[in-house]
Amino acid sequence: MPEIESLSDISRLISDIQHKKFTRSYDIALRTEELLQELISKGHWKSAKELMNLVKTRIQLVRENLPQEATAPNIMRHILKVIREEYQSASKKKDEGQSLHELVTSTPSNVLDYSDSLINLRSSILDHLTEYKVELESSSDNIAAQALEHIHTNEIILTVGKSNTVEKFLKRAAKDRIFNVIVVEGAPLYAGHTMAASLAKSNIQTTVIADSAVFAMMSRVNKVIIGTHTVLANGGLRAASGIHAVALAAKHYSVPVMVLSHMYKFCPIYVGSHNHEAFNVCASPANVIPYAFGPILDKIEVNNPVYDYVPPELVTLFISHQGGNSPSYVYRLLSELYHQDDYDI
Amino acid sequence: MDKTKTSTDGSSKKEKKHHKKQSKDGQLEANLAENEVSHGCKKEIVNKTNNDATTGTVAQKLSEKELRRIEWEKKLESQKGITVTSNDQSVGQQPSEKELRRLEWEKKLQEQKAGDTGKETLSKAEIKAKRREQQEAQRQAKLAAENAKNAAENVKKVAATTPIKDPGKGLGKVEKKLDFPKKETKKTTDVHKVQLVQHLYAEMPQKKVSKLLVYNNIHPAFVKLGSQYLNKTILGSNARTLALMAALKHLIIDIQTPPKQELCRHLETVLQTCTNHLQNCRPFAVSMVNALRNFKLHLTQVDTNLKDSEKKAKLQDVIDVYIHDDIYKAGDAISLKVKEKISDGDVILIYGCSSLLKKILVDAHKEGKKFKVIVADSRPLLEGKEMLRRLVVAKIECTYIFLNAVSYVMNSVTKVLLGAHALLTNGYVMSRIGTAQVALVAKAYNKPVLVCCETYKFSERVQTDSFVYNEIGDPDLLSKIPNTEDPSPLSKWKENNKLTPLNLLYDVTPPDFVTAVVTEIAILPCTSVPVVLRINAIENT
């Protein structure tokens, strides 16, 4: 069956993510984009509708297999929007819901079905995708370029664990400003150690603290700058576990919390709490308590969650390559990124 | 320091003479010139197991200036025709460490007596002369040690243990220990010191120094206790206080009053040197300060007309009563109170290790209460593992998490129980680092937080942040990752001046995170600390 044949590309991506071949979200994003570019240029589709269906089956496949994975579906969702836009401009038909008046009155009159086959569609979509790829590649540089707008001299900045975006951001700022960074080590993975060693190499005064010292240190911190796994539709975060407590401590001391995020991390999903089934995963307890701990291991339960839910009220600012936005504006960013109809795939 | 050995120097007659004089006048000398106490070279405790390393540190400590002096001394020595040899034959014949210390202690007491009688007869000139003699002896001793070090390089097993034989008296062995001037010529550099807590580094015990501490007039029980505090083998306010009280009892049993002195006054001065030593090892816990204050108060109230043995009995009684009432009985009372608050089906979150919490939970479990316990833990001390072990042995159902997962489990938690290091007058709770964070998350989820604390841990101090008064632990603990063989990227932090691990030991929890404090008196709000202190003060006077 050609159907299964054609899905082999996405299956490989899924297996790569499952086997941790890609750990950085940036790698996943690029890979997904390349995958779709290939699908569009070489895939068997005649109309925009068919292409969209191909993409949608892929999104569904990823979501079934990797419920926590947000980057790949987000990239594909954005490309769906690209397809829609290109179709509209090629067919010279307008979709509903663009003007404010139409938003308020909301009378769906002319629903597009995207079934016309257009000659230039393939090339125009591919052109658009090349642009999008450049945007992806320059995203972290664009975020880092804003560093000087947010970090002043002699600041004390706290960050948790390791994030490539944050690392780049701080190093960029260190070129022109002198400031201190406190790195929380982030047990049980201790990614903070790598982060701290790397920052110190770039001549940034770095202090490493254990997770337990966050509240004590927070009273002297000027800003908390963190990365995140996903930005949820309500402006909340799915971030590495432990960040909720950090954000709470920051709130207690009225320290602003800045979240650096690529656009592809913005996800149109609402998740209410920590214990939402699709929200969290638990990693192996071996990192928390070694198997060598002894016979007591039979009698205890060990939890090692990977993510934390951080409610939007604890976040001050999102910084993406487009600039800073507050959590309350996330819904609008989402509607710019994705088409309304693609939210629930 | 587990294995210690005496270390001495050469065996020339002249030198021995100096040494004898020096030890006789040791006490006097110390009184006369307090600043030079460190010069009153008597003994050097050398870690035998780590001999080479120790000599290494010795060498490091000898600054250029000292080296020059040593050279000059060598010249002097050769003029006198003194040959310094190191004797390495009787290493195996040393009495055990404990015996040694006991002997030392007794000898010192005798010397002291002798010194006291001779005190008045000494004229100023004589004292001066003696001091000069002593300084000379000290120089030679140092030179000898230097030579011994050189010898140690040649003969590996020299072990710096070279007892002197005294042919004049035929005493066989005289324990002589030698030490180096303790004035460290250490430059205070700001490298690897976090700006915010600069002041705390001064109080931080130096590991290197500890190996060469001067144990002048310090009872062996306190020497041992000091090293236990330093290495954190005794951890937790209650355990530390109990250990201190036990050492104090040893001291009372062993102490002998010098003539013309009163036991309690003498004990006071001896105790002061002992506690100073402990302070050098690790700053006191609030509970220890309070316990000591109570003891000193009773010390001043002892009837001076009693016999020494009666006084001793009385003082020991004071300690026993304190341990029994203020620590054990208080624990029982708190346990009873908390038990009422634990109901079937509860999920109780605790953090770290606390002897009081363990007692409470085990008592409640024995009562037949059905509850689950979640033990939260954090690096670098990982005390929660010990707590977990104790609770599992008591057959309590346990879950173990790291601090990062507290938010994850907090939804299912019904109560949070926390131990405390001290309760401050402004209602802040000083406790193991991380406690504030647990309380903060509990507050965010609206879960009740109960702090369990005996009133003897209440302190008059006020504090609103965790920096003014705190302790800094070993930063190396942070740069190691447990359970893995690969070194952490931080393992070479000392090579990079920009990289500093910071290991604070305590934090303070604001009173608004704490629902109530359970004490042996009652379940109180945090803000009642000054009231309890006031009432206790009235009762004690």
* From A210, A287, A304, residue closest to B380, measured CB to CB: A210
What residues of chain B lie within 8 A of the CB of A154, using their CB? none
pLDDT of residue B458: 92
Q: What is the DSSP string of A24-78?
A: SHHHHHHHHHHHHHHHHHHS--SSHHHHHHHHHHHHHHHHHH-TT--HHHHHHHH
How far is the C-alpha of B389 from the C-alpha of B378, rounded, in Å? 15
What percentage of chain B has pLDDT greater than the value 70? Answer: 63
B467 CB near a chain A CB, below 8 Å?
yes
Same-domain status, B283 and B390: no
The amino acid that residue B175 corresponds to is E
User: With an 8 Å Cβ cutoff, are A249 and B440 in contact?
Assistant: yes
B405 CB near a chain A CB, below 8 Å?
yes
More confident residue, B124 or A167: A167
For residue A286, pLDDT beyond 60? yes
B14: confidence class by pLDDT, cuts 50, 70, 90: very low
* From B398, B404, B490, residue closest to A241, measured CB to CB: B404
A254 CB near a chain B CB, below 8 Å?
no
> Is residue B333 included in any domain, yes or no?
no
pLDDT of residue B78: 56
Nearest residue in chain A measured CA to CA from B483 = A290
Nearest residue in chain B measured CA to CA from A204 = B498
pLDDT digits (tens, 9 = 90+) for B131-167: 666 666 666 666 655 555 554 444 444 333 334 444 4
What residues of chain A lie within 8 A of the CB of B399, using their CB? 300-303
pLDDT of residue B198: 81
For residue A341, pLDDT beyond 90? no
User: With an 8 Å Cβ cutoff, are B433 and A210 in contact?
Assistant: yes
What's the mean pLDDT in B85-105?
Answer: 54
What's the mean pLDDT in A268-280?
Answer: 71
> Is residue B187 included in any domain, yes or no?
no
User: With an 8 Å Cβ cutoff, are A280 and B408 in contact?
Assistant: yes
pLDDT of residue A183: 94
A324 CB near a chain B CB, below 8 Å?
no
- Asked if the bond preceding A188 is cis, omega within 30° of 0, the reply is yes
Same-domain status, B256 and B398: no
B177: confidence class by pLDDT, cuts 50, 70, 90: very low
What's the mean pLDDT in B281-294?
Answer: 89
pLDDT of residue B262: 83
Number of domains in chain B: 3
> Is residue B235 included in any domain, yes or no?
yes
Q: Which two tokens stand for residue B66?
A: 């000292």
Nearest residue in chain A measured CA to CA from B488 = A193
Distance from CA of A217 to the nearest CA of B (A): 8
Same-domain status, B438 and B352: yes
Count H helices and E strands in chain A, helices first. 13, 11
More confident residue, B202 or B279: B279
How far is the C-alpha of B324 from the C-alpha of B308, rounded, in Å? 24
Which residue in A81, A128, A86 sits closest to A266, CA to CA?
Answer: A81
Cβ neighbors of B117 (< 8 A, separation 6 or more) are: B259
How far is the C-alpha of B314 from the C-alpha of B321, rounded, in Å? 10
B444 CB near a chain A CB, below 8 Å?
yes
What residues of chain A lie within 8 A of the CB of B407, using their CB? 241-242, 244-245, 274, 308-309
Which residue in A151, A241, A220, A121 sits closest to B504, CA to CA?
Answer: A220
Query: In b/e form, how buried is each residue of A140-153, taking b as 16+ CB within 10 angstroms?
Result: beebbebbeebbee
> Is residue B14 included in any domain, yes or no?
yes
What's the mean pLDDT in A288-304?
Answer: 87
- Chains A and B form CB pairs within 8 A to the count of 182
The set of long-range contacts for B203-209, using a CB threshold of 8 Å and a minimum separation of 24, is B203/B283, B203/B471, B203/B472, B204/B471, B204/B472, B205/B230, B205/B280, B205/B281, B205/B282, B207/B474, B208/B57, B209/B182, B209/B184
What percentage of chain B has pLDDT greater than the value 90? Answer: 31
How far is the C-alpha of A160 from the C-alpha of A187, rounded, in Å? 10
3-state secondary structure of B452: strand
Cβ neighbors of B495 (< 8 A, separation 6 or more) are: none
User: With an 8 Å Cβ cutoff, are B436 and A216 in contact?
Assistant: yes
Q: What is the DSSP string of A6-35?
A: HTHHHHHHHHHHHTTS--SHHHHHHHHHHH
Q: What is the CA radius of gyration of chain B?
A: 27
A208 CB near a chain B CB, below 8 Å?
yes
More confident residue, B84 or B379: B379
User: With an 8 Å Cβ cutoff, are A197 and B483 in contact?
Assistant: no
Nearest-10 Cα torsion for A116, A122, A124, A129: 120
> What would the 3-class secondary structure string for B400-419 be?
EEEHHHHHHHHCCCCEEEEE
Distance from CA of A184 to the nearest CA of B (A): 10
What residues of chain B lie within 8 A of the CB of A200, using their CB? 493, 496, 498-499
Which residue in B274, B181, B180 sits closest to B226, CA to CA?
Answer: B274
Same-domain status, B531 and B402: yes
Name the phi and psi angles at B518, rounded to 5: -95, 115
A216 CB near a chain B CB, below 8 Å?
yes
> Is residue B477 included in any domain, yes or no?
no
Last residue of one domain, picked from the residues B92, B126, B158: B158
pLDDT digits (tens, 9 = 90+) for B45-71: 333 334 444 444 444 444 555 556 656
- Which of B195, B201, B381, B407 would you mutate first to test chain A, the one with the most A CBs within 10 A? B407
Tell me which of A108-112, B221-225, B350-354, B532-536 is least confident.
Answer: A108-112
pLDDT of residue B343: 92
How far is the C-alpha of B176 from the C-alpha of B94, rounded, in Å? 12
For residue B172, pLDDT beyond 50? no
What's the mean pLDDT in B359-371?
Answer: 94
> Is residue B199 included in any domain, yes or no?
no
Residue linked to tokens 């002894």: A294
- Asked if the bond preceding B380 is cis, omega within 30° of 0, the reply is yes
The residue range of the domain holding B465 is 342-470+505-540
State how far the alpha carbon of B104 is from the alpha carbons of B23, B98, B114, B480, in Å.
11, 10, 15, 40
Window 354-383 of B, Cβ < 8 Å to A: 378-380
Q: What is the DSSP string of B24-57?
A: HTHHHHHHH-GGGGGG------EESTTHHHHHHH
A298: confidence class by pLDDT, cuts 50, 70, 90: confident
Q: Which two tokens stand for residue A186?
A: 């982030």
Same-domain status, B224 and B83: no
How far is the C-alpha of A319 from the C-alpha of A328, rounded, in Å? 13
* From A203, A207, A274, residue closest to B500, measured CB to CB: A207
**Total count of residues recorded for chain A:** 345
Residue B264: CATH number of its domain: 1.20.120
pLDDT of residue B187: 42
The amino acid that residue B111 corresponds to is E
- What value does the mean pLDDT of chain B take? 74
For residue A132, pLDDT beyond 70? yes
> Is residue B372 included in any domain, yes or no?
yes
Same-domain status, B381 and B302: no
Same-domain status, B372 and B457: yes
Q: What is the β-pairing status of strands A205-209 and B499-502?
A: parallel
Last residue of one domain, picked from the residues B291, B326, B361: B326
What's the mean pLDDT in A55-61?
Answer: 89
Same-domain status, B377 and B252: no
User: With an 8 Å Cβ cutoff, are A212 and B434 in contact?
Assistant: yes
How far is the C-alpha of B90 from the C-alpha of B67, rounded, in Å? 30
Cβ neighbors of B108 (< 8 A, separation 6 or more) are: B26, B27, B217
B72: confidence class by pLDDT, cuts 50, 70, 90: low
pLDDT of residue B166: 42
Same-domain status, B371 and B462: yes
A154 CB near a chain B CB, below 8 Å?
no
pLDDT digits (tens, 9 = 90+) for A18-48: 888 888 888 899 989 988 888 888 888 888 8
pLDDT digits (tens, 9 = 90+) for B198-242: 888 877 665 545 455 566 678 888 888 888 888 888 888 899 999
User: With an 8 Å Cβ cutoff, are A241 and B405 in contact?
Assistant: yes
Residue B362: CATH number of its domain: 3.40.50.10470
Same-domain status, B390 and B465: yes
For residue B243, pLDDT beyond 80? yes
For residue B10, pLDDT beyond 60? no
pLDDT of residue B71: 61
How far is the C-alpha of B488 from the C-alpha of B502, rounded, in Å? 16
More confident residue, B403 or B486: B403
A130 CB near a chain B CB, below 8 Å?
no
Q: What is the DSSP string of B98-124?
A: HHHHHHHHHHHHHHHHHHHHHTTT--H
> Is residue B418 included in any domain, yes or no?
yes
Mean pLDDT is highest, among A121-125, B71-75, B269-273, B336-340, for: B336-340
How far is the C-alpha of B212 from the C-alpha of B46, rounded, in Å? 7
How far is the C-alpha of B349 from the C-alpha of B400, rounded, in Å? 10
Same-domain status, B466 and B372: yes
pLDDT of residue B63: 53
Beta bridge partners of B5: B46
Contact B378, B403 (CB under 8 A): yes
Domains identified in chain A and CATH numbers: 2-98+114-139 (1.20.120.420), 146-337 (3.40.50.10470)
B147 CB near a chain A CB, below 8 Å?
no
pLDDT of residue B507: 92
Same-domain status, B378 and B521: yes
First to last CA, chain A: 24
How far is the C-alpha of B401 from the C-alpha of B416, rounded, in Å? 14
State how far the alpha carbon of B182 is from the alpha carbons of A242, B34, B179, B201, B229, in Å.
45, 13, 8, 18, 21
Window 99-138 of B, Cβ < 8 Å to A: none
B333: confidence class by pLDDT, cuts 50, 70, 90: very high
More confident residue, B65 or A62: A62
* From A209, A245, A290, residue closest to B483, measured CB to CB: A290
Nearest residue in chain A measured CA to CA from B500 = A207
What residues of chain B lie within 8 A of the CB of A217, using their CB? 466, 502
Distance from CA of A174 to the nearest CA of B (A): 13
pLDDT of residue B98: 63
Distance from CA of A75 to the nearest CA of B (A): 29
